[in-house]
A and B are shown apart, each in its own frame.
Chain A
Amino acid sequence: MARMKFYCDAERCIECNACVTACKNVNNVPWGVNRRRVVTINDGEQGERSLSVACMHCSDAPCAAVCPVDCFYTTGDGIVLHDKDICIGCGYCFYACPFGAPQFPAEAAFSTRGKMDKCTFCAGGPEDDHSPAEYSKYGSNRIADGKLPLCAEMCSTKALLAGDADVVSDIYRKRVINRGASAFDWGVNFNKQKLQG
Chain B
Amino acid sequence: MMNKLTKTSCTVAAPVARQACRSVPDAISRRTFLRNSSLMAGGAALASTLTPTMMKRADAAMSEGGGKITEVKTICTHCAVGCGVLAEVQNGVWTGQEPAFDHPINKGAHCAKGASIREHGHGERRLKYPTKLVDGKWKKISWDEAINEIGDKLLEIRQKSGPDSVFWLGSAKHSNEQAYLFRKFAAMWGTNNVDHQARICHSTTVAGVANTWGYGAMTNSMNDIHQSRSMLLIGSNPAEAHPIALQHIFKAKEENNAPLIVIDPRYTRTASHADHYLKIRPGTDVPIIWGMMWHIFENGWEDKLFIRQRVYGMDEVMKEVKNWNPAEVERVTGVPEDQVYAATKAMADNRPGTFVWCMGGTQHTIGNNNTRAYCAFQLALGNMGVSGGGANIFRGHDNVQGATDLGVLANTLPGYYGLSAGSWKHWSRVWDLDYEWVKGQFDGGSYEQKGGKDVHVMNTSGIPVSRWIDGVLEDPANIAQKDNFKAVLFWGHAPNSQTRGVEQKKALEELEMVVVIDPYPTVTAVMSDRKNGTYLLPAATQMETYGSVTASNRSFQWRSKVIEPLFESLPDHTIMYKLANKLGLADQMFKNIQVNGDEPLVEDVLREINRGMWTIGYTGQSPERLKKHQENWGTFNYDTLKAEGGPADGDYYGLPWPSWGTPEMNHPGTPILYDTSKSVADGGLTFRARFGVERDGTSLLAEGSYGRGSEIKDGYPEFSADVLKKLGWWDDLTDDEKKAADGKNWKTDLSGGIQRVAIKHGCSPFGNAKARAIVWTFPDPVPIHREPLYTSRRDLVEKYPTYDDRKSFWRLPTRYKSIQDVDHTKNYPIIMTSGRLVEYEGGGDETRSNAWLAELQQDMFVEIHPRDANNAGIKDGEDVWVESPENAKIKVKAMVTRRVGAGVAFMPFHFGGHFQGKDLRSKYPEGADPYILGEAANTAFTYGYDSVTQMQESKCSLCRITKA
Direct contact of A and B (CB under 8 A): yes
Contact B110 A44 (CB under 8 A): no
Q: How far is the CB of B657 from chain A (nearest CB, A)?
A: 26
**A167 sits at the interface (CB 8 A):** no
**B565 sits at the interface (CB 8 A):** no
Bitwise, B87-116 to A at CB < 8 A (1) or not (0) is: 000000000111101000010111111111
Contact A88 B856 (CB under 8 A): no
What CA separation (Å) do A131 and B64 show in the bound complex? 8
Contact A12 B116 (CB under 8 A): no
Closest to A132 in B: B24
Contact B250 A21 (CB under 8 A): no
For chain B, residues 269 to 284, give those with C-beta under 8 angstroms from any C-beta of chain A: 269-270, 272-280
What CA separation (Å) do A156 and B97 show in the bound complex? 15
Contact size class for A? Answer: 35 or more
Q: How far is the CB of A9 from chain B (nearest CB, A)?
A: 10
**A17 sits at the interface (CB 8 A):** yes
Contact B346 A114 (CB under 8 A): no
Contact B116 A24 (CB under 8 A): yes
- Cβ–Cβ < 8 Å partners of A155 in chain B: 109
**A60 sits at the interface (CB 8 A):** no
Closest to B18 in A: A105
**A137 sits at the interface (CB 8 A):** yes
- Cβ–Cβ < 8 Å partners of B114 in chain A: 18, 154
**29 residue pairs bridging A and B, Cβ less than 8 Å apart:** A14-B239, A16-B111, A16-B243, A18-B115, A20-B112, A21-B113, A22-B110, A26-B96, A28-B38, A32-B42, A44-B267, A45-B899, A48-B272, A50-B269, A106-B18, A106-B20, A108-B17, A127-B4, A132-B62, A136-B24, A136-B37, A157-B109, A157-B243, A157-B247, A189-B259, A191-B342, A194-B338, A195-B276, A196-B279
Contact B16 A114 (CB under 8 A): yes
The verdict on A136 contacting B21 (CB below 8 Å), with A43-B899, A88-B14 known, is yes
Q: How far is the CB of A161 from chain B (nearest CB, A)?
A: 12
Contact partner of B14 (CB less than 8 A), chosen from A15, A49, A113, is A113
Contact A85 B7 (CB under 8 A): yes
Bitwise, B346-364 to A at CB < 8 A (1) or not (0) is: 1001100000000000000
Contact partner of A11 (CB less than 8 A), chosen from B14, B23, B97, B273, is B273
Contact partner of A132 (CB less than 8 A), chosen from B5, B23, B112, B853, is B23
4 further A-B pairs in the complex, CB-CB below 8 A; given A16-B111, A73-B4, A150-B97: A18-B115, A105-B16, A157-B247, A197-B901
**B2 sits at the interface (CB 8 A):** yes
- Cβ–Cβ < 8 Å partners of A175 in chain B: 254
Contact B14 A18 (CB under 8 A): no
Closest to B856 in A: A17
Q: Which residue, B7, B13, B33, B899, has most C-beta atoms of chain A within 10 A?
A: B7
Closest to B276 in A: A189
**A3 sits at the interface (CB 8 A):** no
**A89 sits at the interface (CB 8 A):** yes
For chain A, residues 85 to 106, give those with C-beta under 8 angstroms from any C-beta of chain B: 85-86, 88-89, 105-106
**A182 sits at the interface (CB 8 A):** yes
What CA separation (Å) do A179 and B110 show in the bound complex? 24
**B15 sits at the interface (CB 8 A):** yes
The verdict on A114 contacting B20 (CB below 8 Å), with A21-B852, A43-B897, A88-B13 known, is yes
Contact A185 B257 (CB under 8 A): yes
Closest to A109 in B: B17
Q: Which residues of B are at the interface with A, using a C-beta cutoff of 8 A? A: 1-7, 9-24, 33-34, 37-43, 62-63, 65, 96-99, 101, 106, 108-116, 118-119, 239-240, 243-244, 246-247, 250, 254-255, 257, 259, 267, 269-270, 272-280, 334-336, 338-339, 342-343, 345-346, 349-350, 838-839, 851-853, 855-856, 863, 897-901
**A59 sits at the interface (CB 8 A):** no
Contact B335 A197 (CB under 8 A): yes
What CA separation (Å) do A44 and B250 show in the bound complex? 20
What CA separation (Å) do A179 and B898 show in the bound complex? 28
Contact A115 B39 (CB under 8 A): no
- Cβ–Cβ < 8 Å partners of B839 in chain A: 17
Q: How far is the CB of B540 from chain A (nearest CB, A)?
A: 21
For chain A, residues 166 to 197, give those with C-beta under 8 angstroms from any C-beta of chain B: 175, 178-179, 181-182, 184-185, 187-191, 194-197
Contact B852 A73 (CB under 8 A): no
What CA separation (Å) do A131 and B109 show in the bound complex? 28
The verdict on A178 contacting B278 (CB below 8 Å), with A32-B41, A44-B267 known, is no
What CA separation (Å) do A47 and B898 show in the bound complex? 12
Q: Which residue, A28, A132, A150, A179, has most C-beta atoms of chain B within 10 A?
A: A132
- Cβ–Cβ < 8 Å partners of B339 in chain A: 194, 197
Q: How far is the CB of B59 from chain A (nearest CB, A)?
A: 15
Contact partner of A15 (CB less than 8 A), chosen from B43, B101, B269, is B269
Contact A14 B246 (CB under 8 A): yes
- Cβ–Cβ < 8 Å partners of A178 in chain B: 254-255
Closest to B348 in A: A187
Q: How far is the CB of B345 from chain A (nearest CB, A)?
A: 7
Contact B21 A154 (CB under 8 A): no
The verdict on A196 contacting B17 (CB below 8 Å), with A73-B3, A132-B23 known, is no
What CA separation (Å) do A112 and B115 show in the bound complex? 32
Contact partner of A154 (CB less than 8 A), chosen from B16, B18, B110, B853, is B110
- Cβ–Cβ < 8 Å partners of A26 in chain B: 96-97
Contact B272 A49 (CB under 8 A): yes
Contact A31 B272 (CB under 8 A): no
What CA separation (Å) do A12 and B267 show in the bound complex? 17
What CA separation (Å) do A19 and B114 show in the bound complex? 11
What CA separation (Å) do A181 and B253 show in the bound complex? 11
Q: Which residue, A19, A48, A50, A195, has most C-beta atoms of chain B within 10 A?
A: A195
The verdict on A126 contacting B7 (CB below 8 Å), with A11-B273, A31-B851, A197-B334 known, is yes
Bitwise, A40-78 to B at CB < 8 A (1) or not (0) is: 000111111110000000000000000000000111100
Contact B116 A22 (CB under 8 A): yes
The verdict on A156 contacting B6 (CB below 8 Å), with A187-B350, A195-B276 known, is no
The verdict on A106 contacting B5 (CB below 8 Å), with A21-B853, A25-B116, A187-B346 known, is no
Contact B275 A189 (CB under 8 A): yes
Q: How far is the CB of A16 from chain B (nearest CB, A)?
A: 4
Contact A73 B37 (CB under 8 A): no
**A83 sits at the interface (CB 8 A):** yes
What CA separation (Å) do A15 and B273 show in the bound complex? 12
- Cβ–Cβ < 8 Å partners of A11 in chain B: 273
Contact A112 B15 (CB under 8 A): yes
Contact A16 B259 (CB under 8 A): no
- Cβ–Cβ < 8 Å partners of A132 in chain B: 23-24, 62-63, 65
Q: How far is the CB of B700 from chain A (nearest CB, A)?
A: 36
Contact B17 A114 (CB under 8 A): yes
Contact partner of A48 (CB less than 8 A), chosen from B7, B269, B275, is B269
Q: Which residue, A22, A24, A130, A147, has most C-beta atoms of chain B within 10 A?
A: A24
- Cβ–Cβ < 8 Å partners of B270 in chain A: 14
Contact B346 A188 (CB under 8 A): yes
What CA separation (Å) do A194 and B341 show in the bound complex? 12
- Cβ–Cβ < 8 Å partners of B345 in chain A: 187
What CA separation (Å) do A157 and B33 show in the bound complex? 33
9 smallest beta-carbon distances between A and B, as pairs: A44-B899, A197-B279, A21-B116, A17-B112, A22-B115, A106-B17, A156-B243, A114-B16, A132-B24
Contact A85 B10 (CB under 8 A): yes
**A30 sits at the interface (CB 8 A):** yes
What CA separation (Å) do A131 and B20 show in the bound complex? 17
Contact partner of B109 (CB less than 8 A), chosen from A136, A156, A191, is A156
Contact B897 A44 (CB under 8 A): yes
- Cβ–Cβ < 8 Å partners of B62 in chain A: 132
- Cβ–Cβ < 8 Å partners of A76 in chain B: 1-3
What CA separation (Å) do A75 and B250 show in the bound complex? 35
What CA separation (Å) do A131 and B119 show in the bound complex? 22
Contact A196 B267 (CB under 8 A): yes
Closest to B838 in A: A16
Q: How far is the CB of B486 from chain A (nearest CB, A)?
A: 42
Q: How far is the CB of A182 from chain B (nearest CB, A)?
A: 5
Q: How far is the CB of B933 from chain A (nearest CB, A)?
A: 16
- Cβ–Cβ < 8 Å partners of B852 in chain A: 20-21, 24-25
- Cβ–Cβ < 8 Å partners of A15 in chain B: 239, 269, 838
